[in-house]
Structure 1
Amino acid sequence: MIKKMEHVAIIVTDMDQAIQYYSDMFGFIVRLRGSSKTREMAFLYLEEQCNIEIELIKDIAPIGEYYKSGIVNHLAFTVEDIYEAIQHYGKKGIEFLSSEPQPTLEGGRMILFYGPNNELLQLVERAKH
């Protein structure tokens, strides 16, 4: 059902500084940068491994401290069809944090749930172009 590891999300306090660090230090390339009403986000990849990304997240108006959501915020997995995946994993006992998938920055869909150690996990259906 899961096709690949999608991305690891990291909470940052300065988006430009974080992008510069990952680009200059390790050679990451920005694939997508944008904002929602609550967050600024950027997706970075390595040329040699472009199918696994780092998502940098900066809350526009942070709610409290980051210790609850963690600096490494979530691990995401790619799925082909999010509704099929929700049904499949729901039957296996996963309880999702919302009743419906939410839109992603690039027009796909995602849904969150917790792993066995309360780690935040995400299923992502990429936008079909």
Structure 2
Amino acid sequence: MKQLRITVAGQTFDVTVETLGETCCSAPAPAVAAPAPVAASAPVAAPAAAPAPAPVAAPAASGSGTPVPSPLAGKVVSLDVKPGTAVKEGDQILTLEAMKMNTVIYAPQAGTVAAFNVQPGETVQEGQTLATLA
């Protein structure tokens, strides 16, 4: 067992962690102290993020406009609006299924759905253009 102090978003937590494979001793683990107050300190840099995967090339949309990329790989369940429909930012435009869960895709900005680049039942890759907003 190890005692660790973890700070998350400026809040400190004292925790006890069991190391797997370690034989447990017969003595009880020491009591965990109340979280210590956190003094103001320099901000901690966020851990380096892994580079984003390169987007998969998608069929070009007819005309120009704002592409709506897929946030994940999955299967198109439904197109929830028709091409030519005016949408506001945050309106539901289509639904994907991944790992037996539905993910609703929302319009990233106000506009008109110029075209869908996918059809229900089609498998899509992360980053692939699902629709185009004019």
Scaled by the length of structure 1, the TM-score of the pair is: 0.21
Higher helix share: 1
Q: Indicate the structure (1 or 2) with the bigger Cα radius of gyration.
A: 2
Larger relative strand fraction: 1
